Amino acid sequence: MMSQSTTVVLKDNWRFSKEVKEDAFSVDFDASGWEKVSVPHDWAIYGPFDKEWDKQVAAIEQNGEKIPTEKTGRTGALPHIGTGWYRNTFSVPEFKKGKKAVLVFEGAMSEPQVFLNGKKIGEWGYGYSYFYIDITESLKSGSENVLAVKLTNLPFSSRWYPGAGLYRKVSIVVREQESFAQWGTFITTPEMRGNNAVVDIKAEFHGRNVSMVTHIKDADNKIVATQKGAETADGKLHQIISVAQPHLWSPETPYLYKAVIRLFAADGTLKDEQNIKFGIRFIKYEPHKGFSLNGKVTKFKGVCLHHDLGPLGVAVNKAALRRQLTILKDMGCNAIRSSHNMPSFEQLELADEMGFMFLAESFDEWAKPKVKNGYHRFFEQYAEKDIVNLVRATRNHPCIVMWSSGNEVPDQYGAEGLTRAKFLQDVFHREDPTRPVTVGMDQVKQTMASGFGSLLDIPGLNYRVHLYEEAYKAFPQGFILGSETASTVSSRGIYKFPVVQQKEKQYDDLQCSSYDLEACSWSNVPDEDFVLQDDKPWVIGEFVWTGFDYLGEPTPYDEKWPSRSSYFGISDLAGLPKDRFYLYRSRWNTKDKTLHILPHWNWKGREGEITPVFVYTTYDSAELFVNGKSMGVQKKNNSTPQNRYRLMWNDVKYEPGVIKVIAFDSYGKKAAESEVKTAEEPYKIVLEADRRTIDADGEDIAYITVSVVDKNGVTCPLADNEMKFKVSGAADYRAACNGDATSLQVFHKDTMKLFSGKLVVLVKSNKKIGPINIEVSAHNLRTGNLRISAKQI
């Protein structure tokens, strides 16, 4: 009989509590009164918002602050501080005497202590790290087991919302004694030999007198190569396999192969099997030329992403991640930086499938602190182990093209910092010799003087656009990466006058202007990075801060309540595009045309006042009309960075009606047009789903955009009506989000106000098959109804 490893995901049957005794690990402890939850789970996302949860008095050195001040929304103003307990009673029929088992945690926030059947079996420090524990001696065969996990979130341990709980999957892997090691197989594609790709497989294993057989399958599940037998060297089975005329992986063609790798005992019995998806692709970083993928020079058009998923908190959900990447793909984005944490397995799987290059990051702190209870407490004991687990667990993903060992670490100063940078980089190289390592550096002058930047494989500059030329000359690598760029701030649908470029600008309503000319003291607007990316071949790309708004870090309103989430996003916390989305799209998306007008045209009380009109477009020139009257033709030019990438009519005076733009192609012929109308009073609610069919798996989510239109169907950009949500059928109401960084309405309640005329409702499948009815109502408005469906997987 064939035998192989079995994975049991511990999703259901969990009990959770924040108010328990210290004997909650005991087998006899009665947890029947605890809350029933499924994992992944974030205990803090349900609120309420309160500035007292993790109020920090600090000077944020990364932002150039010298004097400590009160930071009220820095970590999201959600109740993540404290101790939480999880318990699960389960059995594993696959586990028998003579087998082995490991317990795998993909993310536990934070400082997990793990107990099995009343006995402590392990612990970890870093809440972002994947880790596993050998439970062979503690797991009972043929009877129930009790797993208990204690998590502790200290105050002052984060600079953003870290979430709380078992926020990624927990699973048990059962294997034969003769088996592949956990995360011990490494697949690389080092070169082409003629028309054949070389696939190199190294697999760590347990046992003696074993053999390995590998079948490579293409995307149609057809076997395209087979290798029987393997050399054994350094405790690993090693195979070299040739794949003829390979399909190469890239963001444009994210082609995936699958390696079916089998381990056999001496008598021919199958002992273990791995199915590993991988891509055949070739990366190279060259002085003065930059980064190339499959022989083609490629620039990173990337964004940074924190790990929270807005109204879902940090509990990982593949549908939510897929929606994010779908939005980014439409923008023309080709790369993701997981900042400042280790990415989820689900995010990497989607990046492989959908075509995104990935900068996988590890730490926000090394040995020197940024916050009182940050990672520096664990650095000496855990740093190497955390990197080993990061690399081994994820290195087979073709999307990963570089690693980051740190972000703006205070260790950039001093000789100890150089020692730590080299140590960490060496660990990455030992575990994965195929990919380079970077650090996001904000103290660029210091790293030029000390040699810190010179020892890195890739010098990453966070902002500091004025130092790019100097850094390029000072560093020996011959190229610069914009590892974190822009930090422009804006609120979706909010516009401020007069329209001027400025930094650290604050307003009484705690919003930021969507004319995209406001930034922070240390940062800049997008156009300044565009110039460097377009004009300097030695600048290999950028990762914009950030692709989406995230919970916490409400700069420039760190000290103002009730701001509790960021303004940096190209899209807001609900995933709704801000105007800035179209600025990036006009430059990054080379397949589709962009023609976007801002602002909205509802300015009662501003009649006759100057109300500039900007157009973000693929086209180089366009003509603007206000109620049929021409405001002239504007053409992109190099007089300023803004004039190079935006079309701007700065002297338009507001009058209600219609603004229309006609864009011209390179021959001066009309190519496209768009218009914005003044809306009348709100009349009815309109619903639009991102997908009309979802999977009936209990996990899939449809995102329903809710807006209000007038009697003529014109969207009402100022509507702020309170909406009420009702979902029936094969799905349940899960959450809502309006993208307002100052809103204290909790996400899981069935009511929420529109912000700038819109919000998003999340509808989650409930394992039933059939129709899903969504109803959204509000006082004095015609109700919005929508029907979608859930299908069998």
Measured CA angle at 328 (ends 758, 612), to 5 deg:
55
DSSP state of 181: E
**Helix or strand holding residue 262 (H, E):** strand 257-264
As a whole number of angstroms, the distance between CA 293 and CA 297 comes to 6
Across the chain, mean pLDDT equals 96
Q: Over the stretch 163-205, which tens digit does the pLDDT of each residue have?
A: 999 999 999 999 999 999 999 999 999 999 999 999 999 999 9
As a whole number of angstroms, the distance between CA 184 and CA 204 comes to 5
**Helix or strand holding residue 258 (H, E):** strand 257-264
CATH of region 6-176: 2.60.120.260
Beta strands per DSSP E along 311-351 = 335-338
Would you call 212 helix, strand, or coil by DSSP? Answer: strand
Mean pLDDT value across residues 313-320: 98
- Judging by DSSP bridges, how do beta strands 784-791 and 693-695 pair with one another? parallel
Instruction: Give the pLDDT confidence score for residue 1 in this predicted structure.
Output: 34
The answer to whether residue 484 is catalytic is yes
Whether 322 shows a pLDDT value over 80: the answer reads: yes
Residue 574: beta bridge partners? none
Instruction: Give the pLDDT confidence score for residue 3 in this predicted structure.
Output: 53
> What would be the CATH architecture of the domain defined by 684-791?
Sandwich (2.60)
Of 408, 431, 542, 623, which residue is the catalytic one? 408
Whether 728 shows a pLDDT value over 80: the answer reads: yes
Q: Over the stretch 543-573, which tens digit does the pLDDT of each residue have?
A: 999 999 999 999 999 999 999 999 999 999 9
Would you call 384 helix, strand, or coil by DSSP? Answer: helix
Specify the amino acid at residue 511: Q
Can you count the helices (H) and strands (E) in the chain? 10, 50
Whether 235 shows a pLDDT value over 90: the answer reads: no
**Helix or strand holding residue 580 (H, E):** helix 579-588
As a whole number of angstroms, the distance between CA 74 and CA 738 comes to 20
Tell me which residue has tokens 């586990």: 95
Instruction: Give the pLDDT confidence score for residue 66 in this predicted structure.
Output: 78
Residue 359: beta bridge partners? 337, 402
Residue 488: beta bridge partners? 519
Do 70 and 52 touch, CB atoms closer than 8 A? no
Indicate the pLDDT class of residue 2, thresholds 50, 70 and 90.
very low
Mean pLDDT value across residues 410-431: 96
Q: Given this chain, do its domains 179-278 and 595-677 carry the same CATH topology?
A: yes
Of the candidate ranges 60-69, 305-314, 470-479, the one whose mean pLDDT is the lowest = 60-69
Decide: residue 791, CB within 10 A, 0-12 exposed, 13-18 middle, 19+ buried: middle
> What would be the CATH architecture of the domain defined by 179-278?
Sandwich (2.60)
As a whole-number percent, the residues of the chain with pLDDT over 70 amount to 99
As a whole number of angstroms, the distance between CA 562 and CA 742 comes to 5
Decide: residue 289, CB within 10 A, 0-12 exposed, 13-18 middle, 19+ buried: middle
Q: How far is CA 10 from CA 3, 166, 513, in A?
A: 22, 11, 45
As a whole number of angstroms, the distance between CA 206 and CA 236 comes to 10
As a whole number of angstroms, the distance between CA 116 and CA 293 comes to 46
Beta strands per DSSP E along 207-321 = 211-217, 223-228, 231-233, 236-244, 257-264, 270-278, 283-286, 290-293, 296-297, 300-305
* Count of other CB atoms within 10 angstroms of residue 364: 22
Interacting residues of 169 by C-beta distance below 8 A, sequence separation 6+: 9, 11, 39, 40, 104, 106, 316, 345
Instruction: Give the pLDDT confidence score for residue 272 in this predicted structure.
Output: 96
Would you call 442 helix, strand, or coil by DSSP? Answer: coil
As a whole number of angstroms, the distance between CA 366 and CA 306 comes to 19
Q: Over the stretch 624-663, which tens digit does the pLDDT of each residue have?
A: 999 999 999 999 999 999 999 999 999 999 999 999 999 9
Q: How far is CA 342 from CA 254, 323, 347, 487, 789, in A?
A: 22, 20, 10, 21, 34
Do 742 and 549 touch, CB atoms closer than 8 A? no
Mean pLDDT value across residues 262-283: 96
Instruction: Give the pLDDT confidence score for residue 730 in this predicted structure.
Output: 98
The answer to whether residue 609 is catalytic is no
DSSP state of 640: S
Tell me which residue has tokens 């396999």: 241
- Topology classification of domain 300-487+522-550: TIM Barrel (3.20.20)
As a whole number of angstroms, the distance between CA 412 and CA 444 comes to 9
What is the crossing angle of helices 579-588 and 318-331, to 10°? 60
Beta strands per DSSP E along 627-669 = 629-635, 647-649, 658-664
Indicate the pLDDT class of residue 21, thresholds 50, 70 and 90.
confident
Of 111, 176, 484, 553, which residue is the catalytic one? 484
Q: Over the stretch 568-611, which tens digit does the pLDDT of each residue have?
A: 999 999 999 999 999 999 999 999 999 999 999 999 999 999 99
Q: Over the stretch 607-632, which tens digit does the pLDDT of each residue have?
A: 999 999 999 999 999 999 999 999 99
Q: Over the stretch 734-791, which tens digit does the pLDDT of each residue have?
A: 999 999 999 999 999 999 999 999 999 999 999 999 999 999 999 999 999 999 999 9
**Is it true that domain 595-677 has CATH number 3.30.1490.270?**
no
Euclidean distance between the first and final Cα of the chain, in Å? 29
* Count of other CB atoms within 10 angstroms of residue 96: 11
Q: Over the stretch 425-480, which tens digit does the pLDDT of each residue have?
A: 999 999 999 999 999 999 999 999 999 999 999 999 999 999 999 999 999 999 99
Mean pLDDT value across residues 679-706: 98
| The residue count for the chain | 793
Specify the amino acid at residue 46: Y
Domain residues of the chain, as ranges? 6-176, 179-278, 300-487+522-550, 595-677, 684-791
